[in-house]
Structure 1
Amino acid sequence: MADKPKDTSEQTEPQAGAQKAVSTGKGVGSPYDSPTGQLPRVGMTKEPTPSTTVPVDGVPRTDDELGLDPGPDVPTVSQPTDTSGTGATAAPPTTAGATAAGAGAGAAGATAAYSYASIPPAANTPGEPSRSLRRRPVDNRRGTLDFGLFVLRLVVGGTFIYHGLQKLTGWFNGPGLDGTRDMMAGGGWDHATLCAVLVTIGELGGGALLVLGLVTPLAAGAVLAVILDAWAWKQGMIPGFQYRGSVPSGVELESVLAGTAVVILLTGPGRWSLDRNRGWAIRPRYGSFVVLVLAVVAAVVTYWYLHGGNPFTGIGPFD
């Protein structure tokens, strides 16, 4: 026996009143019956048209119910694009055995999708190095270089300390400060006391700073100026080029010390030094070359003013 359909004409009075209020577009009398009917229409860009469908419960959910402008359609990556201008779009492949033409169309679609779905990387500023060069790691491995420079500073600086102590204190069978002054006066130097003080400070102070690796460019410049004056003094004793260390006027030792002082000045003291945090410790630049030139100029001026004479007498064009 079939159930008797319910009589839809029989409705309670509150239900009939609610539907009547909805159909006429008027708000309900109490916010407790339908609270959404009392809320303002936030975010609407246009008023609902008469054709707008209002839900039964009074709560709008779709763009048409809210009266919003849907705006232009934005294609997605999976949506095929129309490249012919006819409004027709290619259907995506449906089987795994797509033909070569279908594969080419898929690649073209992927390229077209990339053009609006992704942002290409910005180009480098003119003159700026490429990103690969900027990110290239710097090789800071120096092997035994720093240790080798430390040994070189010990040998050169220690040699100058040795000769400085001979002149200052008389140690190691040295002449002492008075003996150094008399030796300078007998060798043709003017202002012998000043000369003795200058050579002692240059050898002892410059040698100690070289060993420590402290203010290395100035220390190397100081010992270089001192040893160049010593080279000129001994070379000028006898006409001709005197290099052998076995003769009193030989400049073999002075030449070696001058060369090593230049090497330290141009290479820096290395990381085994008190200057390890300075730029000139491992990467000296134009400043070291400037100090080299100033040291040579200081040696020439000092020798010319305090001694005079020509140390190159008898050597080729300097006769």
Structure 2
Amino acid sequence: MMKKYEWSLLILRVVLGITFLFHGVAKFQMGLGNVAGWFESIGIIGFLGYVVAFIELVGGLALILGIGTRLFSAMIAIVMLGAIFTAKLSIGFMGAETAGYELDIALLAIAVVLLISGSQLFALENKLFGSAKEKISA
């Protein structure tokens, strides 16, 4: 019997995945060298721009498909903490000329929920590796 919370986790997983897939695609479209340059301009090692773009693109797609949900949610949570503390905190919660960190907090919360609970409903990893229930009963 399927529980209601499994649908909730599916919605969170897909929304977080779509959000980060789009962010990752945008970083690749603007050029990873430009992303790295922007990271350096705010005092962060430029190489991390490549890492973040990869996490957003691959992690977003993986979440949509339901592969490595907890792992990619953890990575996204770290990216969000980094964004909040390096680029957004000084702007404020709501921001003025540019967005503050309110969306980052919401995305961080979604990532933490998925890190804690996972998301098994319609997860491709169940088809590839078997579901958690099957592993427990084996």
Q: Cα distance, 1:216 vs. partner?
A: 1.4
Corresponding residue number in structure 2 for 1:214? 67
Corresponding residue number in structure 2 for 1:149? 9
Deviations 1:176-232 (A, max 9, x none): 312212211111113x1x121111011111111111111211111111111110111
Q: 1:213·1:275 contact (CA, 8 Å) conserved in 2? A: yes
Matches of 1:229 and 1:184, distance apart in 2: 11
Q: Cα distance, 1:247 vs. partner?
A: 4.7
Matches of 2:9 and 2:124, distance apart in 1: 13
Corresponding residue number in structure 1 for 2:37? 182
Matches of 1:146 and 1:251, distance apart in 2: 28
Say which structure is richer in helix: 2
Corresponding residue number in structure 1 for 2:124? 274
Deviations 1:282-305 (A, max 9, x none): x9xxxxxxxxxxxxxxxxxxxxxx
Is 1:161 the counterpart of 2:8? The answer is no
Q: 2:52·2:79 contact (CA, 8 Å) conserved in 1? A: yes
2:105 corresponds, among 242, 250, 255, to: 255
Matches of 1:228 and 1:205, distance apart in 2: 19
Higher relative contact order (CA 8 A, sep 6+): 2
Is 1:230 the counterpart of 2:80? The answer is no
Q: 2:21·2:60 contact (CA, 8 Å) conserved in 1? A: yes
Change beyond 3 A, Cα 1:257–1:186:
same
Matches of 1:204 and 1:149, distance apart in 2: 20
TM-score scaled to structure 1, two decimals? 0.38
Cα-Cα RMSD: 2.2
Q: 2:39·2:48 contact (CA, 8 Å) conserved in 1? A: yes
Change beyond 3 A, Cα 1:204–1:231:
same
Deviations 1:116-151 (A, max 9, x none): xxxxxxxxxxxxxxxxxxxxxxxxx23433333222
Deviations 1:39-75 (A, max 9, x none): xxxxxxxxxxxxxxxxxxxxxxxxxxxxxxxxxxxxx
Matches of 1:146 and 1:272, distance apart in 2: 10
TM-score scaled to structure 2, two decimals? 0.82
Count, aligned residues: 131
Secondary structure of residue in 2 paired with 1:188? coil
Matches of 1:204 and 1:246, distance apart in 2: 28
Secondary structure of residue in 2 paired with 1:275? helix
Please give the residue correspondences for 1:1-319 in structure 2 after superposition, counting only pairs within 5 Å.
141-170=1-30, 176-190=31-45, 192=46, 194-237=47-90, 242-248=92-98, 250-276=100-126, 277-279=130-132
Matches of 1:249 and 1:159, distance apart in 2: 16
Structure 1 unmatched runs, 5+: 1-140, 171-175, 284-319
Matches of 1:187 and 1:278, distance apart in 2: 43
Matches of 1:275 and 1:245, distance apart in 2: 39
Matches of 1:246 and 1:147, distance apart in 2: 36
Secondary structure of residue in 2 paired with 1:158? helix
Q: Cα distance, 1:258 vs. partner?
A: 0.3
